[in-house]
């Protein structure tokens, strides 16, 4: 293992705190002398570049850019990806998914190809291939390359080689000043992109990149402060890599990546690192499961309906003069579309109550709209503080409906920790309370003999822990549904859920 190439910095001719006292004394002797000394103190150290492009070139060189001429960089990496948005609690520790990655990138074109093997709890590993360049992301499918949204590029920025290349090619960077980060002064570059300003922190001593940061819009939190941090640099044959890279969102680590073996291989000019000319830029769109696509309406009972699209199902039912919406997913636009369907199904003015059965982020991302509209929210008692945080969050990047009504919006919440009746028992709430479903609710409509299973029956192809916990909760509370559905499950006979218990040797 070779040490990373470093460019030595000259020592300044004065040091703190003694230099400050000397400058103050000299300032008493004459303002002109004082101004001159402070000008010298703020000047760049001798031998260090002062313009943005030169600093980017220096970063490229100290990482070993010259060593990669005519070569492709091949490396292995392991990463843990925090599932904070869908863990069994809204606070740490969170479930992590793990990835093994083998990547190749061309330092001149900045195209990277990554073969990724992902591991999930009690599931077969999944394999995928991702290609990115400065503005685009693609996946490899049977029918060729498929364009992906820009959100799929986030792991690209864990590689500082690609970040430096992207900044260099884009141009327009400027030196914005010096800031202290991770205990030391850093030179900060800034540039404007279509998504907003990005800032790149460089170590003035060595020239290495330390951090990339920007503000990114978010479907639940409005916006988040994103940081890519590069640490524990190591060098092999003159090529330096961060031994560890991190993605932090609002200060919390969401990806932790460790670099393994790195090597240079001859660039054979193969097609594996070639990308099509179009599109010129990946769209800044949400993943499909979050997109508020057109709704399909399925009738369950005289006044009970399932509203579904490719991402999520919800249920709406009218009891007397009150309309109950079981879960509010996907965001404001989905909530508006739900509202339109409610107006068609149940003409007239009604009180709206939203039942939150589970607090995964996509499952509650439409809640802010309903609170702004005056709805009452019912959820598990343990969800109160988290949901309060969702409602209290200030959307500053792109103010939503709630932000526009902030002064008059009130969070009216009813917490449930046991069987609970609404509409005089015409709708009942039940904690599922299994080891995998603590804090989740299911909803029973006696007149329709229908059980809304929240997110906790996801398949009926085979027995599952989740489905068994829902079944046990129904047995515990003496419920006798005929049909069930869930956020990812079509309307299904309850008898099918009963059948799934037999291989587990569960008796009533």
Per-residue DSSP letter, 67: G
Decide if 283 is inside a domain: no
Query: In this structure, are residues 261 and 243 in contact, taking their beta carbons and an 8 Å threshold?
Result: no
Q: What is the pLDDT of residue 504?
A: 63
Q: What burial class does residue 114 get, using C-beta atoms within 10 Å of its C-beta: 0-12 exposed, 13-18 middle, 19+ buried?
A: buried
Note whether 269 and 296 are same-domain residues. Answer: no
Decide if 328 is inside a domain: yes
Note whether 265 and 294 are same-domain residues. Answer: no
Note whether 391 and 338 are same-domain residues. Answer: yes
Note whether 217 and 309 are same-domain residues. Answer: no
HSE (side-chain half, CA atoms, 13 Å) at 125: 11
Structure tokens at 107: 């330092």
Q: What is the pLDDT of residue 302?
A: 98
Structure tokens at 22: 């000397």
Q: What is the CATH number of the domain that holds 446?
A: 3.60.15.10
Decide if 25 is inside a domain: no
Q: What is the DSSP string of 405-447?
A: TTTT---EEEEESS-EEEGGGTEEEEE---TT-TT-EEEEEGG
- Reply yes or no: is the peptide bond before residue 279 cis, omega within 30 of 0: yes
Decide if 36 is inside a domain: no
Note whether 261 and 331 are same-domain residues. Answer: no
What is the domain extent for residue 104?
Answer: 52-273
Tell me how far the alpha carbon of residue 242 is from its chain's centroid: 22
Q: What is the pLDDT of residue 49?
A: 65
Structure tokens at 242: 């961060």
Query: In this structure, are residues 16 and 252 in contact, taking their beta carbons and an 8 Å threshold?
Result: no
Which H or E run contains 139?
Answer: strand 137-141
Note whether 302 and 356 are same-domain residues. Answer: yes
Decide if 19 is inside a domain: no
Q: What is the CATH number of the domain that holds 111?
A: 2.50.20.10
Q: What is the pLDDT of residue 271?
A: 65
Q: What is the pLDDT of residue 434?
A: 96
What are the helix and strand counts (H, E) for the chain? 10, 26
Per-residue DSSP letter, 294: P
Decide if 279 is inside a domain: no
Note whether 93 and 197 are same-domain residues. Answer: yes
Note whether 230 and 366 are same-domain residues. Answer: no
Decide if 390 is inside a domain: yes
β-strands 304-308, 296-301 pairing: antiparallel
Q: Show the low-confidence residues of the chain (pLDDT under 50).
A: 1-46, 506-508
Q: Which of 223, 240, 273 is the last residue of a domain?
A: 273
Note whether 232 and 326 are same-domain residues. Answer: no
Query: What contacts 22, CB < 8 A, 6 or more positions away?
Result: 14
Decide if 167 is inside a domain: yes
Note whether 267 and 303 are same-domain residues. Answer: no
Structure tokens at 215: 């503000």
Q: What is the pLDDT of residue 142?
A: 84
Residue 86 to residue 80: CA distance in whole angstroms: 15
Q: What is the pLDDT of residue 35?
A: 40
Q: What is the pLDDT of residue 9?
A: 35
Note whether 170 and 297 are same-domain residues. Answer: no
Task: Write out the E strands in 267-399.
Answer: 296-301, 304-308, 313-319, 322-326, 351-356, 376-380
Q: How far is CA 200 from CA 173, 191, 207, 297, in A?
A: 9, 9, 12, 48
**pLDDT tens-digit profile of 331-358?**
999 999 999 999 999 999 999 999 999 9
SS3 372: helix
Three-state secondary structure of 217-275: EECCCEEEEEEEEEEEEEEECCEEEEEEEEEEECCEEEEEEEEEEEEEEECCCCHHHCC
Domain count, the chain: 2
Note whether 332 and 452 are same-domain residues. Answer: yes
**pLDDT tens-digit profile of 240-283?**
999 999 999 999 999 999 999 999 999 876 668 989 999 999 99
Q: What is the pLDDT of residue 25?
A: 36
Phi and psi of 270, rounded to 5°?
-70, 165
């Amino acid at each position: 293992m070779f040490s990373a190439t470093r460019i030595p910095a000259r020592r300044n001719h004065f040091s703190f705190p003694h230099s400050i006292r000397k400058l103050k004394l000299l300032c008493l002797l004459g303002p002109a002398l004082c101004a001159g000394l402070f000008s010298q103190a703020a000047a760049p150290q001798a031998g260090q570049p002062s313009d943005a492009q030169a600093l980017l070139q220096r970063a490229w060189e100290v990482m070993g850019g010259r060593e990669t001429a005519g070569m492709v960089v091949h490396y292995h990496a392991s990463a843990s990806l925090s599932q904070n948005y869908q863990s069994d609690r809204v606070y740490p520790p969170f479930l992590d998914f793990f990835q093994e990655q083998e990547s190749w990138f061309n330092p001149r074109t900045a195209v990277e190809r990554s073969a990724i093997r992902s591991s999930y709890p009690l599931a077969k590993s999944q394999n995928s291939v991702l290609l990115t360049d400065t503005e685009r992301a693609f996946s490899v499918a049977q029918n060729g390359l498929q364009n992906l949204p820009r959100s799929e590029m986030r792991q690209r920025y864990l590689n500082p080689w690609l970040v430096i290349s992207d900044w260099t090619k884009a141009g327009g960077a400027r030196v914005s000043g010096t800031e202290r980060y991770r205990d030391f002064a850093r030179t900060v570059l800034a540039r404007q992109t279509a998504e907003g300003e990005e800032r790149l922190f460089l170590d003035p001593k060595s020239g290495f990149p330390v951090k990339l940061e920007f503000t990114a819009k978010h479907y639940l939190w409005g916006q988040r402060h994103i940081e890519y941090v590069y640490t524990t640099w190591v060098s092999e044959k003159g090529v330096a890599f961060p031994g560890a890279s991190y993605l932090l969102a609002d200060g919390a680590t969401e990806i932790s990546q460790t670099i393994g073996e790195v090597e240079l291989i001859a660039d054979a000019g193969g097609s594996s690192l070639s990308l099509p000319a179009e599109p010129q830029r990946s769209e800044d769109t949400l993943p499909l499961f979050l997109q508020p696509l057109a709704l399909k309406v399925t009738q369950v009972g005289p006044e009970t309906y399932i509203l579904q699209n490719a991402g999520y199902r919800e249920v709406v039912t009218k009891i007397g003069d009150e309309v109950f919406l079981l879960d509010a997913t996907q965001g404001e636009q989905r909530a508006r579309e739900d509202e339109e369907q409610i107006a068609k199904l149940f003409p007239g003015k009604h009180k709206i109550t939203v039942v939150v059965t589970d607090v995964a982020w996509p499952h509650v991302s439409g809640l802010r709209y309903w609170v702004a509209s005056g709805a009452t929210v019912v959820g598990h008692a343990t969800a109160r503080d988290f949901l309060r945080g969702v409602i209290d969050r200030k959307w500053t990047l792109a103010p939503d409906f709630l932000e526009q009504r902030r002064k008059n919006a009130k969070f009216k919440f009813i917490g449930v920790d046991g069987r609970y009746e609404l509409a005089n028992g015409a709708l009942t709430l039940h904690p599922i309370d299994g080891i995998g479903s603590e804090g989740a609710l299911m909803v029973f409509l006696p007149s329709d003999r229908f059980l809304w299973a929240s997110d906790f029956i996801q398949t009926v192809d085979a027995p599952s822990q989740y489905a068994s916990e829902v079944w046990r909760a129904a047995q515990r509370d003496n419920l006798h549904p005929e049909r069930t559905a869930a956020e990812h499950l079509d309307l299904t006979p309850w008898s099918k859920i009963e059948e799934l218990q037999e291989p587990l040797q569960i008796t009533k």
